[in-house]
Amino acid sequence: MKLKIETPTRESKGYWKRVKRGASLREEMSGGITLSLCDRVIEFILPYVVEPTDHDEAKELLEDLSQDEFEKIIKAVIGDKGGGNNTTVPPVNSPPLESSSLPTA
């Protein structure tokens, strides 16, 4: 199963709230990963997951992503590089993620 994430645009309501929360998470990630931080990053991204629709399945697929994939998704959610991207992330057991699959930094 694929993990499909639809990110908001810069014009979507809650822009500054997303920017603040995403920037805070990215800053924390650069200082080291904690269990609490892992949970907060997943909870930040989870509302933008459109496939799978099952919350637990989506959470499990998110937990299989790499740090680089998380950072790219966070950038897309907060609107770095234009925002409003439709991001499809293949499952971990599929071939490695192509750089074109996610927005680039």
Query: What is the distance of C-alpha 96 from the center of its chain?
Result: 17
pLDDT score for 81: 58
pLDDT score for 105: 39
For the chain, the distance separating the N- and C-terminal CA atoms, rounded to the nearest angstrom, is 26
Q: What is the pTM of this model?
A: 0.68
What single string gives the DSSP state of each residue in 16-57?
A: HHHHHHHHHHHHHHHH---HHHHHHHHHHHGGGEEES-SHHH
Q: What is the mean pLDDT of each run of 10 residues along the chain (105 residues)?
A: 87 90 86 87 92 94 88 83 46 41 43
Residue ranges per structural domain of the chain: 3-92
pLDDT score for 47: 93
pLDDT score for 43: 93
The sheet carrying 49-51 orders its strands as: 49-51, 3-6, 86-89
pLDDT score for 92: 44
